[in-house]
Structure 1
Amino acid sequence: MRRYLAVGLDCYLCLVTGGLLVRPYADSASVPQVVGLLIGPVLVLSFLNQVVLTAVVGAGAGKLIMGIRVVSLPDVRRPGPGRLTRRWLYGLCWLPLQPWYGLRARLAGAGGGGGPGPRPACEEAAARTDPAGLRQVRRSDLAAHRRAVAGRAGPRTTGSP
């Protein structure tokens, strides 16, 4: 749920900021011109948020607010700009197609094939990663993982004497 709220915050912040930038020109332009004026700043702000800010800080604005970090798999480090750009471009192509994928899945489910039910664990894991090999994790979980890897997780007890 946190991930979806973070994405919603990112979209909201980009649209509001883009709208505030275009507002002085909105009165003298027609609706298609305003939409055209709005697309450029929103794409630039989205790129700055999703690629530049994530490369520098480890998360975009919405993810920072929600306490989520973006990490590179399998080394669990901050991703580089190339992977972040690929992820951003994938998001621009993937998000608008979601209604189509949902409709197609409903139609396939109504045909009798795979009905609703629990998803296998491998599908759940695949749903949380993206094609660029990145994953969104909670900041607290990332800190606990780094402490455990560094050996500062505390003394461990063993079952054998």
Structure 2
Amino acid sequence: MRRCLAVGLDCYLCLLAAGLLVRFCLNFGGTGRAVALLAVQLVALSFANQVLLTMAVRASAGKLIMGVRVIRLPDAGRPGFRRLVLRWLYGLLWLPLGPWRRLRHGPAAHSGPERPPGRPAEPPEDLAGVRQVRSSDLRTYRAAVRRRTD
């Protein structure tokens, strides 16, 4: 639930920024030029939020508000620039096509392998080998690792 709310907050903040930038963009002549300028600014803001801010503090703005952090798998370390750029490109270019693919191929094509009854579903993993976790869970994990090595 936190992940969904964090994504929703990121989208809301992006729309808020778009609303603030529209007036600025309209001052630059024709509609086509204003739309192109707005698109470039939104892509730059998205990159700054999803890659640069995540590199600095392990979370985008929405994830910070919801207490979610991004970690590298399998060692729960800080994800590198390359992984974050791949993740951002995946979210920007591939995920928006998901509803279209499901409509075209049906939901069964994307449901994944069947799991035995009683076995919990695997947590979702991103393309670039990073995962989103709650901040409290990350603190608990690190404390357990420290106790284990001491």
Instruction: Bin the TM-score by the shorter chain.
Output: 0.7 to 0.9
Distance 1:67 1:34 in 2: 36
Task: Name segments (4+ residues, structure 1) moved above 2 Å.
Answer: 24-35, 118-125
Once the two structures are TM-superposed, the CA of residue 101 in structure 1 deviates from its matched residue by 2.4
- Code of the aligned partner of 2:58: G
Report which of the two structures shows the higher radius of gyration computed on alpha carbons. Answer: 1
Report matched runs for 1:2-151 at 5 Å. 2-26=2-26, 29-106=29-106, 109=108, 120=115, 124-125=121-122, 128-151=124-147
Q: Deviations over 1:99-134 (max 9, x none)?
A: 11221353x65xxx99x8x95379942x61011000
Aligned length: 145
Gaps of 5+ in 1: 153-161
Give TM-score scaled by structure 1 length.
Answer: 0.77
Q: Distance in 2 between matches of 1:146 and 1:60?
A: 21
Question: Secondary structure of the equivalent of 1:45?
Answer: helix
1:60-114 Cα offsets, whole Å, 9 max, x none, are 00000111000000010110111101111111112220211221353x65xxx99
Q: Against the structure 1 CA distance between its residues 93 and 25, is the aligned structure 2 distance closer, same or farther, given a 3 Å change threshold?
A: closer
The Cα RMSD (Å) is 2.8
Identity %, equivalent residues: 54
Q: Which runs of 5+ in 2 are unaligned?
A: none
- CA contact under 8 A between 1:18 and 1:45: conserved in structure 2? no
Letter in 1 for 2:124: R
Distance in 1 separating the partners of 2:120 and 2:100: 20
